[in-house]
Structure 1
Amino acid sequence: MTALEPVPRRLLRDRAYDALLAAIVSGELAPGSRLNDGELADRLGLSRAPVRQALARLATEGLVESKPQSFTRVAPVAERDVADALALVRTLHEMAVREALPLVDAAAVERMRAENARFAAAVDAGDTMGAMAADDALHAVPIQVCGNRALAETVRRWTPLLRRLECLRFSTEAARASVGLHEQLIDALAGRDEARAVAVSHHIWSDLAPGRPAQGE
């Protein structure tokens, strides 16, 4: 593709989604904020179509709510829905770690260490969105290694509902405890210690629960 070829519509939709997701999880678009596709399109420099597609995706993920002919707005934080999503995602990450452990090789371990270094650098720089991206990439490695497509799709579906929890954690000193927990998870995977790897994975995701203090071990 040359630089002057049209950008595929899929990329415009994804660009709109990424921008709106970041604004919602950071609080720039607070719960209850009205969302007008025309105004958002102007702010993002896009047409209305990709913005509408992004809003529809965010609605399926529970971050936007809409009533036909009435409103589209940022969804409030529904504590029960978030708690349910967290329990599911935590269990699936534990399952991914368990299934991946016999298959993890040196390259996978190094990818996780590199992402944890990127995570730590983002935390030090106060780059919350960068920390979230690195955290996603780190935890994606066991999912990719285990090769369970149903697991991967379910995690992808429900993780966005946890983004506001991640943003709160990674914008505070609690994020520094996550660096050490990541290292413990990586070491357990490298050492083929299934019980330890699953326990640390459980700890990592449990620490996202609202009101739970950071617990580096």
Structure 2
Amino acid sequence: MRATAGREARKNGAVPIPPHSPAVGRTLLRDDVYTRLRDAIIDGTLEPGEQLRDVELAAWLGVSRTPVREALLRLARGGLVVARPGRSTVVSSLDLRALREARDVVAAMHQLAVRQAVPLLTDADLDAMRDAARRFAAAVETGDVDAAIAADDDLHGVPVEVAGNRAVVAVLEQFTPVLRRAERLRFAAPDAQGSLGRHDELVRLCAARDADGAAAVAAGLWSSLPDAD
């Protein structure tokens, strides 16, 4: 239904805003505007090459044009849109070089976060990682890619939060969205089961306080993402 509506909107020269998407309050934070637009690009609601008009986007979200423009600038820094000053802003096409660069950076950030977090992880933190790993396994088993991504985010998010490195968080927020299509390719593929063992190994090494070993596994999980071609 959404894809059909999107095609019809495009025929009329309009941005394919989902017709039944709930409006958000006018007190919406900038981060929420950014998240909504980012997710619309990642899930394909807004396709590569789509022209983004801040007036239409602001009407969809129920906010002024200012937070929309700020969100578009953030998306441009992360490589999800291309801003052409004085002309237009469009959803960027996937660029393999940009994907590989983002993948290397994200892998390095998770490696650093895990190395810093391992000595600080509590039993509750480890239990949270185990729970996320179980939810990830269940999602892969049923082919629920969205749930798999959410569980994967939760698992890797524990050491990132525990490490408390604000620079790492900022870099991950900027570059992780670029990798979402590659994650979807991995988790929808028949060999997605391969991530299960690496998740278990990551948690085991964290519990054993093997910071270097756990950091290497974390980096490997991200650096082995497939090319989204």
Match of 1:148 among 165, 185, 189: 165
Deviations 1:132-179 (A, max 9, x none): 232222112112222322222222222222222223222333433223
Deviations 1:80-116 (A, max 9, x none): 2221221122122112222222222211101111222
- CA drift at 1:130: 3.1
Contact 1:61 1:161 in 2 (8 A): yes
Does the residue aligned with 1:69 lie in a helix, a strand or coil?
coil
Aligned to 1:214: none
Does the residue aligned with 1:208 lie in a helix, a strand or coil?
coil
Match of 1:130 among 147, 150, 153: 147
Match of 2:69 among 33, 38, 52: 52
What does 1:1-217 align with in structure 2 at a 5 Å threshold? Answer: 8-10=27-29, 13-44=30-61, 46-210=63-227
Listed as ranges, the gaps of 5+ residues in structure 2 are: 1-24
Q: Distance in 1 between matches of 2:137 and 2:101?
A: 28
Listed as ranges, the gaps of 5+ residues in structure 1 are: 1-5, 212-217
Structure 1 residues 122, 63: CA separation in 2 closer, same or farther (over 3 Å shift)? same
Aligned pairs, how many? Answer: 204
Contact 1:25 1:167 in 2 (8 A): no
Structure 1 residues 29, 199: CA separation in 2 closer, same or farther (over 3 Å shift)? same
Query: TM-score, normalization: structure 1?
Result: 0.80
Contact 1:83 1:209 in 2 (8 A): no
Q: Distance in 1 between matches of 2:105 and 2:49?
A: 26
CA RMSD of aligned residues (A): 2.4
Structure 1 residues 28, 177: CA separation in 2 closer, same or farther (over 3 Å shift)? farther
- Give 1:53's aligned amino acid: E
Percent identity of equivalent pairs = 45
Query: TM-score, normalization: structure 2?
Result: 0.77
Structure 1 residues 168, 28: CA separation in 2 closer, same or farther (over 3 Å shift)? farther
- CA drift at 1:28: 3.0
